[in-house]
Amino acid sequence: MKITQVEAIPFAIPYRKPLRFASGEVHAAEHVLVRVHTDDGIVGVAEAPPRPFTYGETQAGIVAVIDSIFAPQLAGLSLLDREIAHARLGRTVGNPTAKSAIDMAMWDALGRTLDVSVTELLGGFTDRMRVSHMLGFDEPAAMLAEAEKMRDNYGITTFKVKVGRRPVFLDTAVVRALREGLGDSVELYVDGNRGWTAAESARAMKEMADLDLLFAEELCPADDVLGRRWLVQQLDVPFIADESAVSPADVTREILGGSATAVSIKTARSGFTRSQRTHHLAEGLGLEVVMGNQIDGQLGSLCSVAFGAAYSLTSRRAGELSNFLDMSDDLLAEPLRISDGELTVRPGAGLGAELDPDKLRHYRQDS
Ligand code: MUC
Ligand code: MG
């Protein structure tokens, strides 16, 4: 169970349709595949998605920090030395998706070694989650057509709508068109990626008061401390902390400070080990949890569902697990399939992910 090598392989797969939101846009999955090898010949895998507009990481930076700092720190550790690994990675500030991909690849390798699935190792609550689809910026008619396609083709009935444009009417018109077009049976919530001020957010939420929203997420910056508290106090739906609550300590600060009332867990930025800590904290505080999407590929989405399915709290709400559908291709030998609005974990050891070697050869950028 000793780690012999940690590989960081950059790859790029174009999106069929770019995803646009208040803090940025994504045209290609320029991610880093992480492989953790052990002396038993086991290989664990995960992917790191650089999101410079949220965490400051770049693809080249992720490869560099893994090759030059993290890989040497982990060589020789057992897969069971998770707290030691966590402490060593923690000596370097930032780099959340690089650290998380290593953490998840270690859990995958551990599951493969023990012949147990990661979901069972973590908690084993269920084997599936309902899926929520994230709708990027577009005209109301195009966003409604996209939601209808997701409902008709995959049975998805929960939608997170990207908001945060100016004037706020651009977005409130979209949410109204979705509610009117899709009816009362779908779940709708909004995510502003800090695009609005607190006052704009309050106005938008008033305009949408009759649209039966489930949640509001990160509508304005958490750094506008008093404005955000003022906003959260007047809302009658849970306010999700996403990019403002990357670590358990961030969650504590945002929740106890009155700047959020729910939390998004993204395995891409907190791996399985820190996501577990956030889950336990959220359970203790009695918070709503949504499994979020870091605009993950299939491997990242498999990690999210593997974690989300492990616990009652994380599998209660629909998880954001479907944005890989916008990619032109992926690395898994057997693609993920969403049906009846659900995604299931892969049976078998670890994450159950097998990569297609031809696709990896085609999309990797280092050879
Ligand atoms: C989301 O939930 O915000 C967009 C930016 C980011 O950091 O994640 C995505 C989705
Ligand atoms: Mg968000």
Query: What are the pocket residues of ligand 1 if the criterion is a CB atom closer than 6 Å to any ligand atom?
Result: 21, 23, 51, 54, 191, 193, 242-243, 292-295
Among the bound ligands, the one closest to the CA of 23: 1
Helix ranges, 68-168 (H): 71-74, 82-89, 96-114, 118-122, 140-154
- What DSSP letter does each residue of 257-308 carry, written as one string? TTS-SEEEE-HHHHTTHHHHHHHHHHHHHT-EEEE--SS--HHHHHHHHHHH
- For 284, counting Cβ atoms within 10 Å of its Cβ (0-12 exposed, 13-18 middle, 19+ buried), the class is exposed
Cα(104) to centroid of ligand 1, in Å?
20
pLDDT computed for residue 367 by the predictor? 77
pLDDT computed for residue 193 by the predictor? 98
pLDDT computed for residue 228 by the predictor? 98
Cα(84) to centroid of ligand 1, in Å?
30
24 CA: nearest ligand 1 atom: 5
Q: Which residues of the chain have pLDDT under 70?
A: none
- Pair 130, 154: CB distance under 8 Å: no
Out of 263, 289, 294, 320, mutate this one to test ligand 1's pocket (max ligand atoms within 8 Å of CB): namely: 294
Tokens 């399939």 correspond to what residue?
337
Give the residue whose CA is nearest to atom 6 of ligand 1.
294
- 3-115+356-363: CATH superfamily: Enolase-like, N-terminal domain (3.30.390.10)
Tokens 């409604």 correspond to what residue?
144
Task: Give me the residues paired with residue 159 across strands.
Answer: 133, 188
Q: What order of strands is seen across the sheet that includes strand 24-38?
A: 3-21, 24-38, 43-48
Has domain 120-344 been given CATH number 3.20.20.120? yes
Q: Give the residue extent of every domain in the chain.
A: 3-115+356-363, 120-344
pLDDT computed for residue 99 by the predictor? 98
As annotated, the active-site residues are 162, 191, 217, 242, 266, 294
Give the residue whose CA is nearest to atom 8 of ligand 1.
294
For the chain, give the mean pLDDT: 98
Helix ranges, the chain (H): 52-55, 59-65, 71-74, 82-89, 96-114, 118-122, 140-154, 169-182, 198-207, 225-234, 248-256, 267-270, 273-285, 298-308, 312-316, 357-363
Residues with CB under 5 Å of ion ligand 2 are 191, 217, 242
Cα(180) to centroid of ligand 1, in Å?
26
Nearest in space to 35 (alpha carbons), one of 10, 60, 68: 10
- Say whether the ipTM exceeds 0.95: yes
